Amino acid sequence: MKLATWNVNSLKVRLPHVLDWLAANQPDVLCLQETKLQDENFPIAEIAASGYQTIYTGQRTYNGVAVLSKQPGIELVTGIPALDDPQKRVLSAIYDDIRIICIYVPNGEKVGSEKYQYKLRWLAALKDWIRDMLARHEKLVLLGDFNIAPDERDVHDPKLWEGQVLFSLPEREAFQEVLGLGLLDSFRLFEQPEKSYTWWDYRMMGFRRNMGLRIDHILLSRELAKICTACVIDKTPRKLERPSDHAPIMVELGKL
DNA sequence: ATGGCTGTTCTTAACAGA
């Protein structure tokens, strides 16, 4: 089974990239963030023509998440149940017995800002919810754009980013607390190339100079980590014309 | 120190993203 996540930064603009990527990689499940589409504008027909069905929750201009899958999911959840949040950032369903949770964590803008406080509150609510979900689902995947680089290895210039949003200690601690519930960072289960990132700034030739951050993640419950055989960041779509600033990541799971 | 790209909007300037 192949599970993937990709912040597409506007599905309207990136739909051709997504369809090409689906055809080339054939994931069983692909989670998308920053679709930036209201539900009535979601391109279900184009995606269905590629052999995928979709669940989605979106809004105008900002945020929006979707889960594309070969098989239908059950027990859909939209948003973090205990969090009263109009922003469309969370979508979850069960696929092939696995509870998939697609998230788009708030960016946080700047350490100390109102949006940063919202990010930390949001992460605290996420932790409480994931604790509940793990108690109910041994097979669980939490994946998406976390907007947190967990470790110095995940930052092209840790000195420059020290204390900055996406790499500040409170954010990294919140990430570790989620892991502490019983999740593993699939990317670090395997040997990886040095300087592996999932996001590069559009400006200053960030991608060409590999000035990136690893802020998109696929976290696996212990049960699933045991059967995970690979985790790969695919930089191919980042090289296309008009790319998303994020690259997709994919894990492969063997038989239970 | 700043702004640097990109996408979106009751657009052509302002904002948010990371």
Section A188-214 average pLDDT:
97
Q: Cα A39 to chain center, whole Å? A: 20
Class of residue A7 by CB neighbours under 10 A (exposed 0-12, middle 13-18, buried 19+): buried
Specify the DSSP element, H or E, that contains A199.
Answer: strand A199-200
- Give me the mean pLDDT over the A180-209 stretch: 97
Q: How far apart are the first and last CA of chain A?
A: 11
Q: Which nucleotide is nearest to A60 (CA to C1')?
A: B8
- pLDDT at A256 exceeding the cut of 80: no
- Distance, in Å, from the CA atom of A1 to the CA atom of A251, rounded to the nearest integer, reads 8
Q: What is the mean pLDDT of chain A?
A: 97
* Residue A94: closest CA among A132, A59, A136, A122: A136
Give the domain ranges of chain A. 2-253
Q: 0.85 exceeded by the pTM?
A: yes
- pLDDT tier at A199, thresholds 50, 70, 90: very high
Percent of chain A with pLDDT over 70: 100
A255 pLDDT band (50/70/90 cuts)?
confident
> Considering A56, A95, A104, A197, which one is annotated as catalytic?
A104
CB A102 within 8 A of CB A143: yes
Structure tokens at A142: 């939490």
| Residue pLDDT, tens place only, A84-131 | 999 999 999 999 999 999 999 999 999 999 999 999 999 999 999 999
Q: Is the CB of A8 under 7 A from strand B?
A: no
- Classified by CATH at the fold level, domain A2-253 comes out as Deoxyribonuclease I; Chain A (3.60.10)
